[in-house]
Amino acid sequence: MRLLVIGSQDAVWGFSLAGVRGQIVTTAEELNQALDAALENEELGIVLITEDVADLARQRVEEAMIRSTTPLVVEIPGPEGPSPDRPSLSEVIRRTIGVRI
């Protein structure tokens, strides 16, 4: 099971120091292409997408987080830290399926 990070240059470079492969994206089109490729890659177990990049295609990323089980898609804070107005993962799950965790 492999890990992939999709994010800004700083985030991808940071994860590469730990041996994690990544893809730098700067546009919604690049994000959609990277996400499509990641979801089709059977070797991947987890796809990390930084918050700032996820904002480029918010609806698509949230749909992938909800629907994809392999690989698991997880949104993480970028190098600048978490956005103060972002809902927590447990809040997203509660709104989506009505279960509080």
User: Looking at domain 2-97, which CATH architecture does it have?
Assistant: 3-Layer(aba) Sandwich (3.40)
- pTM of structure: 0.81
Domain ranges of the chain: 2-97
What pLDDT digit, counting tens, does each position of 6-62 carry? 999 999 999 999 999 999 999 999 999 999 999 999 999 999 999 999 999 999 999
The model's pLDDT over 51-85, given as tens digits with 9 standing for 90+, comes to: 999 999 999 999 999 888 899 999 998 777 777 77
Q: How many helices (H) and strands (E) does the chain have?
A: 5, 4
What is the rounded average pLDDT for all residues in the chain?
88
Q: What phi and psi, each to the nearest 5 degrees, are found at residue 59? A: -65, -40
CB environment 29-67: b (16+ within 10 A), e (fewer)? ebbeebbeebeeeeebebbbbbbbbbbbbeeebbebbee
- Name the token pair of 14: 């940071």
